[in-house]
Amino acid sequence: MQSNLPDKIQADKIHVGIIMDGNGRWAARRGLPRNAGHRAGVEAIRRVVEAAPEQDVGTLTLYAFSCDNWRRPKAEVSALMGLLRRYLADETARLADSGTRLSVIGRRDRLPDGLADAIAEAEAATAAGTALSLRVAIDYSARAAILLAASRATHPADLTRDGFARLVTGEPQPRDVDLLIRTSGEKRLSDFLLWESAYAELYFTETMWPDFAAAHLAEAIASFRGRERRFGGLPAHAAAA
């Protein structure tokens, strides 16, 4: 489904991508089963989604489940899919009321029965949201998205940077990632938004995802605001010399 971001979401707001990592380790450190960490991670999603608009975030993309995550034990995968169902059931009305527009990126053909329909219903119910565009990556691979875009390129306009970006993202006006956050201390991109993150500022934190809160998001954004983004050019003072 294409996500036509409403014009009312200001263009000067930033796009933040988050690799939500550390649920299992968070649980293990507390002597809890991994699923307890995933449940706590859902609470962190709620906190960050609520905080994002107040921190000048216009688009928030969360990495929930990668194509490679199917390799995990079947019981854990089943639990994750169950949490997704519960999230859609519990949060759709809240998202709509807060002006948050939900869209899901990634494959849907491999999801358990009925889940793709539940996603579509949640997308439709929140389609009018203008406060925040919340994109959740499920059964997602950035490399697969790029390969699929290449297979669909049939016109010279598709091979321009903007044209190909539209094929990669499935969006008429794709927005590059400004700030990419990964929690839990790991420092890799894990096949997440590779095209869109070409010039993203990277921010890694030791905080496990279940502990991530509005204050942590504010700290990451403050770090982003303090950086000089040159996009291959020179610093302003050097260019003027």
Q: Which residues are tagged catalytic?
A: 21, 69
Return the H-helix or E-strand segment holding 81: helix 74-98
Q: Are 161 and 2 in contact (CB under 8 A)?
A: no
Return the H-helix or E-strand segment holding 190: none
The CA-based angle 136-138-143, given to 5 degrees, is 105
